[in-house]
A and B are shown apart, each in its own frame.
Chain A
Amino acid sequence: MTLWLGVGIVGIAVILAIGTNWIGFTNPNEQDLGASLLAPSVAHPFGTDELGRDILTRVLHGARIDLSFGLITTYVSLVIGMFLGALAGYFGGVTDTVLMRVVDTVISFPFIVLILAIASIVGAGLLGAYVGVLVVSWALYARLTRGEMLVLRETQYMMAAETLGLPVRRIIFVHAIPNLLRANLVFSMSDIVLNILTLAALSYLGLGVRPPTAEWGTIIAQGQKYLRTAWWISTLPGIVVVLVGVGFALIGDGLADRLGEDVTGAA
């Protein structure tokens, strides 16, 4: 049941995000100085900010950025990480040691330093955020997959595949990966949430998306000045973030129950 609830929430979010322009919320940056700092109303369900921009429109457009960021970073990392982790776990030896050292270094490196460095090199903005998160995210999947592969390798049917003389490529892709996919998929749901939150946090700090682009983090950041008077600018978008996050987390929990996996994603 949790699964469908989660799918429902995420589904609505995705549909709204994709179809924003078609349902009439067209311009997130349209200013109307006469209508600045209006409280939520029927005309402006989320109120307006200091420049008279409709917050709801901005949130919807921001959804496109955030949702696509979450999905892309997570699944690209998953593919890369799973592949590398499977190889390391299967072949062991030097491959494994080298990969795991790299993974450990990446994970232990202070994330902020990394992000700031990348942002400074590549230039602040969405690209910097993508690169930064990708550089770190794949490592989590690699570690998870490698752990699973180590266990899987010893199972009977894997050994059977080997004794049958099937080519390595086939063993890994056709036999191992479908099993490894389970744990990774469950974990990916939490990861999507984490990545979206990271982007929002970076944007909030001024390192990810920059104003005036509408993104959940930037909207909340810009509302901070008006917290006392126009609380809705920072507060309401946050609720949207939480709801979407809960949606993904519910999918994760539902999947975990269905697939019998451990939700904590402990490697």
Chain B
Amino acid sequence: MFAYIGRRIIQAIPVLIIVTLVAFALIHLIPGDPVKIMLASRATPEAIATVRHQLGLDQPLPIQYLRFLGGALRLNFGNSLFLRTSIGPIIAKRAKDSLALLVFSVLVSLVIAVPMAIISAVRRNRPTDHLVRMFSTFAFAMPAFWTGLLLVLFFALRLRLFPTSGLGEGPINYLRSLTLPSITIGFYLAPVLLRSLRASVIETLSAEFVEAARARGLSERRVLFKHVLRNSLIAMITVLGVNVGFLISGAVVIENIFALPGLGSLLVSSILARDYPVIQALTLVFGVTVIVVNLLVDLSYAALDPRVRL
């Protein structure tokens, strides 16, 4: 298994290089000079030239890129053009919060999607199934930012159960402040997972080994939860993986509504400010995240289904 992981890491390197290269090129295509933005009204040509030199921005692009790569390998991402502090810790702190939000959101989406998918599949074409599918369709069509606003309206403003924005201090407040955002994202993820799992369970329920299990006198509950579920989860995990990869950066909308300092909002602000080193570092982080998530998905296949050979 470790050999497999090793192989995947090696395969990932060229992909990461390409992604960062493309990002680098793309970012430099964007008009706007970070130095001019920084200096604003004090932007005289000499000042600009000095600062550019200080920040190493006057070097030819390929050299800049290579310097970035070299630093990245040593986990040194340099300094933010704006904050003048080391990028590493900034990203680390925000990554921790983004990760917390992500994990919490995935849990919420699973809590919503899994039971509903199972009930829906077991009572296929009966009223319960139709209700669940209706819910799924509606949830799918709800814009995430709108859902977020609605939740804020009811639970934060009217009922005052949760804060409207920001991250809380201390474990309880931290979780409280992540609750509404997680529910928002959970509602966004749930319909997709539900659809996939429901289809999977329906397919598995008609498999012969399920009939055989019933014929052995195993209780319906055991048949469902032990035998059917394990076989059905695989398809859903793929879907989950794809979406999680997207959400690392895609959660920016939610971060915006709830004023959460996460990686998404860092990305937006750094692009607006043309903070190249930060953008580069973030792209690398996102790329690595997607690769790690894909790897975890594949490993979980192997764990769930013994027929899969790594």
A201 CB within 8 Å of chain B: yes
Name the interface residues of B1-35: CB closer than 8 Å to any CB of A. 15, 18-19, 22-23, 26-27, 29-32
Given contacts A111-B250, A112-B267, A117-B271, contact A205 B149 (CB under 8 A): no
Question: Cβ of B146 and Cβ of A253 under 8 Å apart?
Answer: no
For A250, list chain B residues within 8 Å (CB): 137
Residues of B within 8 A of A197 (CB): 141, 143-144
Q: CB-defined interface of A223-263 with B at 8 Å, one 1/0 digit per residue? A: 01001100100110010011111101110010000000011
Given contacts A205-B252, A227-B149, A238-B146, A117 and B141 within 8 Å (CB-CB) = no
Knowing A108-B19, A109-B19, A116-B268, the reply to whether A205 touches B141 (Cβ < 8 A) is: no
Interface SS of chain A? helix
Residues in B neighbouring A242, C-beta threshold 8 A:
138, 141-143, 146
Say yes or no: B253 contacts A111, CB within 8 Å: no
Contact B26 A117 (CB under 8 A): yes
CB of B246 within 8 A of chain A?
yes
Asked whether, in the complex, the Cβ of A263 is within 8 Å of the Cβ of B152, the reply is no
A204–B268 Cα gap in the complex (Å)?
13
Question: CB distance A249 to B141 under 8 Å?
Answer: yes
**Beyond A113-B23, A120-B30, 17 extra complex contacts between A and B, CB < 8 Å:** A110-B286, A110-B287, A111-B250, A112-B264, A113-B267, A113-B279, A113-B286, A117-B30, A117-B271, A190-B140, A220-B149, A224-B257, A227-B153, A244-B141, A246-B141, A264-B199, A264-B239
Q: How far is the CA of A248 from the CA of B140 in the complex (A)?
A: 11
CA distance A121 to B199 in the complex (A): 42
Contact between A224 and B149, CB atoms less than 8 A apart: yes
Q: Which of B30, B143, B196, B256 contacts A264 (CB 8 A)?
A: B196
Q: A201 and B253: CB pair below 8 A?
A: yes
The answer to whether B249 touches A110 (Cβ under 8 A) is yes
A200 interface residue per 8 A CB criterion? yes
Residue of A nearest to B150 (CB): A235
The reply to whether B18 and A117 form a contact with Cβ atoms under 8 Å apart is: no
Give residues 21-66 of B contacting A (CB, 8 Å): 22-23, 26-27, 29-32
The answer, yes or no, to whether A193 is at the interface (CB within 8 Å) is yes
Give the nearest-CB partner of A243 in chain B: B141
- Residues of chain B with a CB closer than 8 A to A116's CB: 267-268, 271-272
Please determine whether B30 and A204 come into contact, CB atoms closer than 8 angstroms.
no
Contact indicator per residue, chain A 173-196, by CB within 8 Å of chain B (1) or not (0): 000000000000000001001000
Would you call A95 an interface residue if the criterion is a C-beta within 8 Å of the partner chain's C-beta atoms?
no
Q: Taking A112-B264, A242-B141, A246-B137 as contacts, is the C-beta distance between A234 and B30 under 8 angstroms?
A: no
Interface contact tally, CB-CB below 8 A: 134
Q: Which residues of A contact B268 (CB under 8 A)?
A: 112, 116, 205
Across chains A and B, which 4 residue pairs bring their CB atoms closest together, nearest first? A245-B141, A238-B146, A120-B30, A116-B271
Q: Is A105 an interface residue (CB 8 A)?
A: yes
Question: In chain B, residues 229-264, which have Cβ atoms closer than 8 Å to a Cβ of chain A?
Answer: 235, 239, 245-246, 248-250, 252-253, 256-257, 264
Would A111 and B246 count as touching, CB distance under 8 A?
A: yes
Bound together, the chains give a CA A223 to CA B150 distance in angstroms of 12
Alpha-carbon separation in the docked complex, A227 to B149 (Å): 8
Q: Which residues of B contact A110 (CB under 8 A)?
A: 248-250, 267, 283, 286-287
Chain B residues within CB distance 8 Å of chain A: 15, 18-19, 22-23, 26-27, 29-32, 133, 137-138, 140-146, 149-150, 152-153, 157, 195-196, 199, 235, 239, 245-246, 248-250, 252-253, 256-257, 264, 267-268, 271-272, 279, 282-283, 286-287, 290
Q: Are A220 and B143 in contact (CB under 8 A)?
A: yes
Q: How far, in whole Å, are A250 and B141 apart by their CA atoms in the complex?
A: 11
Q: Which chain A residue shows the least CB distance to B26? A: A117
Which residue of chain A is the closest to B28 with respect to CB atoms?
Answer: A117
From the candidates B18, B133, B143, B157, name the one contacting A200 in the complex (CB within 8 A): B143
Q: A246-B137, A253-B137, A264-B199 are in contact. Are A113 and B283 (CB under 8 A)?
A: yes
- Closest chain-B Cβ to A194's Cβ sits at a distance in Å of 9
In the assembled complex, which residues on chain A have CB atoms less than 8 Å from the CB atom of B157?
A: 227-228
In the assembled complex, the Cα of A264 lies from the Cα of B15 at a distance in Å of 28
- Is the pair B264, A249 in contact by a Cβ cutoff of 8 Å? no
Which residue on B lies nearest to A249, using beta carbons? B137
B140 pairs with A249, CB closer than 8 A? yes
Least distance between A52 CB and chain B CB atoms (Å): 22
Give the chain A neighbours of B31 by CB distance below 8 A: 120-121
Q: Cβ of A234: which chain B residues have Cβ within 8 Å of it?
A: 146, 149, 153
Question: Cβ of B146: which chain A residues have Cβ within 8 Å of it?
Answer: 220, 234, 238, 241-242
Could you write out 11 A-B pairs with CB less than 8 Å apart? A109-B22, A112-B267, A113-B271, A113-B282, A120-B32, A190-B140, A201-B143, A227-B153, A234-B146, A249-B140, A263-B195
Minimum CB distance partner of A262 in chain B = B199
Which B residues are CB-close (under 8 A) to A246? 137-138, 141
Cβ B199 vs Cβ A112 within 8 A: no
Q: CA of A224 to CA of B253 in the docked complex: distance in angstroms?
A: 13
Nearest neighbor of A241 in chain B, beta-carbon distance: B143
